Amino acid sequence: MDAARLPRTTAIALCVALIPTIVLAGAKPTDRLDGLTGVEKALADTVDPWGLPFGDQLTRFRGHFAASPKATFAVGVTHDLVKVLPNKYWFRGEVFLPGAEGAMARERLACAGETLSFQFAILSAPGHKGGAFTVSARCRVASGAEPKVTVFREVFLKTPVPPYPRFASDRWPDPLVACGEVAAKTIEPAVCWVDIAIPADATAGKLVCEVEVASKGGEARVAFAVPVRVVRGVSLDPKGYPLVAWFGRKSGPIVLSDEQFEGMCKLVLAHHCQPMRVLAWDPKAPEKFDAMFELLRANGQRIHQVPRAPGANARPQTVERYAALYKHLKAKGWLASCIAYSNADEPDTETLRSRNVPFAEHVRKTYPGLRLFLASELHKGTERACDIVLTDLSSSKYDPRTYVLQAAPELWHYYCHLPVRWQARAPLTQAPNMQMDNPALQHRLAIWMSYRFGARGVFIWAGNREWDKMATIWRDATVRVPRAYSFPYGGTHNGNGNLVYPPATKSGAVVPSIRLKVLRDGVEDVALLRACKALLAGEGGAKLSADLRANLAALIDPVPDVFHHPHYYDNLPDTLLARRDAILRVLAEAKLP
């Protein structure tokens, strides 16, 4: 370009426009790190789990504070289907600054009778070292009782490096502690989980959850609202699709008191997970068995595991003891809701034939009506060995895309992450799983898949096993694995066997997890899908227009948009959430009572 040929005013304007370019050309890239702390500058050469380099993370994060450069913190809001990792620069979601009036997050949709959840994160400003905060939340409704709102602090746990794929973080959120105060650090955000328990008789329309975050000194606060549109038209029955797991009074070095044990059972039942292996029989004190049975039933339990039946060669005292239990169950009218585990766990073909089948024949003859369940591949003759079979989505003898459901045994899906005496049709690690360092989407999607592929229930191993690895988490937030699983098992599996955490104090309550809450959401999703299917099949469907009926029928089938099969699914949480919202919008448009 020849500046001499340009008009004088144009030449001056061009020179002024080029000044920033000339200055930037002489600047160092690292000058952008000015004002950051040392620990923040140490992130300069890193990428986040999405693959975004720190320079671009910094650009986005600083943009949150553009409207208020002197703010020392901001609050980010996101949905409940993502695990917020312990780096503020990785956070994605809506962000609100102190002093903003009338801040409103995006609207959420919820069905009457379910629990709606979201998360918020307190993010220290670039170069700021964090601080202490008070947090609170409540719901306001136009009429009727306010829904119960609970705020939990998410605890990050340091985990060993596992042999399966995960995002590049050694610290993961999972335990949830009810709180009113939290602390944010230079890098690590203070992340909170919010539950809104929407009553089954809630009125259709909008409610507002108001959240307030204030610095401990009170000099700055962020207040924002989360509008919720409540939808009616179907009645949810989450426990109608059984999600079960083994729980125990003792785990590792930790023994729960009666109060803690019963509290744990109530906790998991409140999340629609039905605790198995919690009934103990003493013929000299049947009232203890009855009290526990009634406690479970009162909290929604519908299927109960009773102790294993004795085999054909059991001692007479053992047989007599079990006969008393069997007689008691029949007298109480409880037998139909009871199941017992088979005698040989996860058998190969020969073990099934030589041990499980004879055991089942003996039990069916001696204790008719008592159903047996068993974790196993679908060996030939499995129906002779059990009434309910639990099998893995990746099993070499089971492909849900082609499998034809049989009358017997009843098929359930089995999530263990470490089954043995089996072979895999596809990588288990690429199907949905329940580990604390798996994406949250996997836990919820697993329930959708099991329902869609015809499984009559879901069994997770287990609920509060392996607390020996969790024994120090309230001191050092570290999951300790002194050694990998030993032969015939193997590897390290973070969170395998636990959906709840040991009490933080000797007399405290068992602590829920993010995974338990995501599973609850999945069960409530399935309850919605089942209710919509019943609506279309019954008289209620006639109240829908032809277009709404067709739309709803298409939406309640997640294949192929949400997933094709267990190893080929959409990895974006937004896809599942959008499908669920679309179903609720149809119900809202139908204006059913």
Domains within the chain, CATH numbers bracketed: 33-231 (2.60.40.10), 238-512 (3.20.20)
User: Taking Cα atoms as reference points, which of 371, 405, 402, 373 lies closest to residue 389?
Assistant: 373
DSSP codes joined into one string, 28-39: -GGGGGTT--HH
Residue 60 pLDDT exceeds 50 = yes
CB atoms within 10 A of CB 106: 11
3-state SS record for 400-456: CCCCCCCCCCEEEEEECCCCCCCCECCCHHHCCCCCCCCCHHHHHHHHHHHHHCCCC
Do the Cβ atoms of 304 and 296 come closer than 8 Å?
A: yes
482 burial type by CB count under 10 A (0-12 exposed, 13-18 middle, 19+ buried)? exposed
- Look at residue 482 in the predicted model and tell me its pLDDT: 65
**What pLDDT does residue 145 have?**
80
- pLDDT for residue 311: 96
| Cβ proximity of 394 and 427 under 8 Å | yes
Residue 15 burial (10 A CB sphere; 0-12, 13-18, 19+): exposed
Contact 147, 197 (CB under 8 A): yes
Q: How confident is the model at residue 26 (pLDDT cuts 50, 70, 90)?
A: low
Is pLDDT of 7 > 90?
no
For 320-340, what is the mean pLDDT? 98
In this predicted structure, what is the pLDDT of residue 8? 46
At residue 244 the predicted structure's pLDDT band, cuts being 50, 70 and 90, is: very high
pLDDT at 505 over 70: yes
CB 210 within 8 A of CB 132: no
Strand pairing category for 371-375 and 338-341: parallel
Q: Check if the beta carbon of residue 443 is closer than 8 Å to that of residue 515.
A: yes
Residue 540, pLDDT > 90, answer no
Q: Is the pLDDT of residue 469 over 60?
A: yes
CA atoms within 13 A on the CB side of 400: 25
pLDDT given for residue 466 in this prediction: 87
What does each C-alpha distance from 565 to 100, 401, 449, 496 come to in angstroms?
A: 45, 7, 8, 23
pLDDT at residue 479, rounded to an integer: 87
Give the mean pLDDT of 268-275: 98
Which residues touch 237 (CB under 8 Å, ≥6 apart)?
Answer: 527, 530, 531
Smallest Cα–Cα separation from 469: which of 217, 154, 253?
A: 253
Task: Say which range, 15-24, 280-289, 397-406, has the weakest mean pLDDT.
Answer: 15-24
> Taking residues 253-265, what's their average pLDDT?
97
Looking at residue 12, its pLDDT comes to 41
- Which of 4-8, 338-342, 379-383, 439-443 shows the lowest mean pLDDT across its residues? 4-8
188-236 pLDDT, tens per residue?
Answer: 999 999 999 999 999 999 999 999 999 988 789 999 999 999 999 999 9
| pLDDT, mean of residues 554-560 | 97
> pLDDT confidence of 1, banded at 50, 70, 90?
very low
How big, in percent rounded to 5, are the helix, strand and coil portions of the chain? 35, 25, 45
Of the two residues 592 and 197, the one the predictor is more confident about is 197
Question: Tokens in use for 486?
Answer: 């030993």
Shortest CA distance to 413 belongs to which of 462, 379, 373, 460? 460
Q: Which of 119, 117, 77 is nearest to 97 (CA)?
A: 77
| DSSP states along 443-512 | HHHHHHHHHHTT-S-EEES-SB--GGGGTTHHHH-B---SSPPPTTS-S--TTTTBSSB--SSTT-PPBP
Per the CB < 8 A criterion, the answer to whether 267 and 147 are in contact is no
In terms of pLDDT, which residue wins out, 143 or 209? 209
Any residues with CB less than 8 A from the CB of 186 and at least 6 apart, and which?
37, 39, 40, 124, 128, 129, 130
pLDDT of residue 20: 43
AA identity, residue 383: E
Quick one: tokens of 105?
């997050």
Q: How confident is the model at residue 6 (pLDDT cuts 50, 70, 90)?
A: very low
- Stretch among 291-305, 457-471, 549-563 having the lowest mean pLDDT: 457-471
> How confident is residue 27, by pLDDT bands cut at 50, 70 and 90?
low
Tokens 């009429």, residue located: 143
Distance of alpha carbon 451 from alpha carbon 449, whole angstroms: 5
Residue type, 37: T
Can you tell me the mean pLDDT for 361-383?
97
Q: Which of 200, 179, 203, 199 has the alpha carbon at shortest distance from 191?
A: 179
Q: Name the average pLDDT for the chain.
A: 93
* Helix (H), strand (E) at residue 244: strand 243-246
- pLDDT band of residue 25 (cuts 50, 70, 90) is low
Residue 48: both structure tokens together? 């986040």
Q: What are 82-137's pLDDT values in tens digits?
A: 999 999 999 999 999 998 888 999 999 999 999 999 999 999 999 999 999 999 99
The count of C-alpha atoms lying within 13 angstroms of the C-alpha of 145, restricted to the half-sphere facing its C-beta, is 10
d(CA 186, CA 130): 5
Can you tell me which residue has the tokens 């079960």?
Answer: 244
**Which three-class secondary structure state does DSSP give residue 123?**
strand
Q: State both tokens at 188.
A: 């690590």
Task: Collapse the DSSP code of 297 into the 3-class scheme (helix H, G, I; strand E, B; otherwise coil) and give the result.
Answer: helix
Amino acid at 412: W
- What proportion of the chain, given as a percentage, has pLDDT over 90? 86
Structure tokens at 562: 């949400």
